[in-house]
Amino acid sequence: MTREHFDAIVIGSGPAGEGAAMKLVKSGRRVAIVESHPSVGGGCTHWGTIPSKALRHSVQLVADYRRDPVLRRLFGVSQVGYPEMLESAADVISEQVRTRNRHYTRNHVPILHGHARFTDPQTVALSHGEATRTFTANHFVVATGSRPYHPDDVDFSHPRILDSDSVLRLGHSPASITIYGAGVIGCEYASIFCNLGIKTNLVNTRDRLLSFLDDEITDALGYHLRHQGTVIRNNEEYECVEPRDDGVILHCQSGKKFRSDVLLWANGRSGNTQEMGFEEIGVAVNHRGQIEVNDRFQTSLPHIYAAGDVVGAPALASASYDQGRFVGTLIADGETDWRLIDDIPTGIYTSPEISSIGRTERELTARKVPYEVGQANFKSIARAQITRHTVGVLKLLFHRETLEILGIHCFGEQASEIIHIGQAIMAQPGKANTIEYFVETTFNYPTMAEAYRIAALNGLNRLF
């Protein structure tokens, strides 16, 4: 039987897979995409980034409407539930799929549907229904993403026990929800549900929310989640989950019990490497199902690469796309001068948003770096007053002597957009990456961007 051969086969069509495939085909390579789901886009498009952020946007619009007395007088009272919010996310997903299909069609990249399993280091078998086809390639890029972690003692088949995938199929608005796990996913969904007026418990396994962020920012997040109605409990470990016909009870080792209509498990993720034949061909996979790679994203077999969530941190769509392009460059050219950036901006779509890049105050203090802080409170910024999004702050951390920007932390509406202005300046070489740039630059008025000028002036004033 003749096996179709490609220069490279990319397994997975999420950000990492798309980045690799597009770079390779633009470099003149014959490439195929393998996708087990009926539609392209991967978990990012169908279960992760796109649906949750579209859902958050719709919920934020409802929250703004309820807060604005003028809008309420003009349009009356509108009761909107969780299922209605999901409808807007479905529209965005469909458009994203159409856009990506056009990319592959225009660039003559075939999409092979099925579950891929390596039968030898150069061959994959694709199972789709009853049919199985085999393909060979010189190189492979594994970009299969990740899925929610399921402990064996929790019954995820029960309709009241959800994960970050199945919560997007919830067909009603629960009266209450308990979220176990207060990482990025848990905090984002806490913002979504509490802003819909749903009683929300957020159970955190650590001593503070999102401890990798600046302490002041996470303190602000905790305050505003509580202000919006979320009950937060830190330093809790589950003992068991008890589903009932009329609800579900989370039993914690501390003796606490949380009873709610539904439970959202948001504690951990596993790489999508199951039943792919990696053990048989000698590709190393760790206990979390993540593929082990070197700094060139090569597995233990050098012609097989892996990128994106399947290799672990930072597990961001933006970073995954860059990793895919980096891998595509290495396969196409053999070598590259391009290196992935060390400082990757973090965007967390809570309400309000959080975004950061660079060092935190805690890190700088531990390293004994002499730094100063410049702040701009959103409540004093004209654009924030106009939009009525006055909750928030922009923090600039900079070296007291050189004025070099060391870290940027933003909490508030459009934080994930605002951060990129500072990112661009931080990346400049030599003395160009100081906060003096923001003092000497003219910003449009009124804009949120002028928060940089206000924060820079505030910081410089602390030096004298």
Residues 453 and 401 in one domain: yes
Cis? peptide before 314, omega within 30° of 0: yes
Query: Is residue 288 one of the residues assigned to a domain?
Result: yes
Residues 418 and 377 in one domain: yes
Residues 70 and 199 in one domain: no
Residues 251 and 362 in one domain: no
Residues 14 and 138 in one domain: yes
Expressed as residue numbers, the domain containing 134 is: 4-146+270-333
Residues 211 and 305 in one domain: no
Residues 279 and 410 in one domain: no
Q: What percent of the chain has pLDDT over 90?
A: 88
CATH number for the domain including 378?
Answer: 3.30.390.30
Are 19 and 324 in contact by the 8 Å Cβ rule? The answer is: yes
Per residue in 200-222, pLDDT (tens digit) is 999 999 999 999 999 999 999 99
pLDDT interval class at 79 (50, 70, 90): low
Residues 17 and 142 in one domain: yes
Query: Is residue 215 one of the residues assigned to a domain?
Result: yes
The larger pLDDT score, comparing residue 130 to residue 144, is at 144
Mean confidence (pLDDT) of the chain: 94
Residues 285 and 370 in one domain: no
Per residue in 7-26, pLDDT (tens digit) is 999 999 999 999 999 999 99
Q: What is the pLDDT of residue 223?
A: 96
Residues 290 and 388 in one domain: no
**Is the pLDDT reported for residue 73 higher than 80?**
no
pLDDT interval class at 75 (50, 70, 90): low
Q: For the residues 385-400, what does the mean pLDDT come to? A: 96
pLDDT interval class at 93 (50, 70, 90): very high
> Going by DSSP bridges, is the β-strand pair 161-162/262-265 parallel, antiparallel, or unpaired?
parallel
Query: Is residue 339 one of the residues assigned to a domain?
Result: no
Q: For the residues 118-129, what does the mean pLDDT come to? A: 94
**Is the pLDDT reported for residue 77 higher than 60?**
no
Per residue in 353-373, pLDDT (tens digit) is 999 999 999 999 999 999 999
Residues 170 and 297 in one domain: no
pLDDT interval class at 429 (50, 70, 90): confident
DSSP 383-439: HHHHHT---EEEEEEEETTT-BEEEEEEEETTHHHHHHHHHHHHTS-GGGSBTHHHH
Rama region for 462: left / alpha / beta (φ>0; ψ in -120 to 50; rest): alpha
**Is the pLDDT reported for residue 1 higher than 60?**
no
* Overall number of domains in the chain: 3
**Is the pLDDT reported for residue 68 higher than 90?**
no
Q: What is the pLDDT of residue 61?
A: 86
Q: Which position has the token pair 């804009």?
A: 447
User: 102: exposed, middle or buried (C-beta count within 10 Å: 0-12, 13-18, 19+)?
Assistant: exposed
CATH number for the domain including 115?
Answer: 3.50.50.60
**Is the pLDDT reported for residue 87 higher than 90?**
no
How many CB atoms are located within 10 Å of the residue 414 CB? 19
| The pTM of the whole model exceeds 0.85 | yes
Cα torsion angle, 99, 103, 108, 114, sign: negative
Query: Is residue 320 one of the residues assigned to a domain?
Result: yes
Per residue in 156-168, pLDDT (tens digit) is 999 999 999 999 9
Q: For the residues 259-267, what does the mean pLDDT come to? A: 98
Query: Is residue 152 one of the residues assigned to a domain?
Result: no
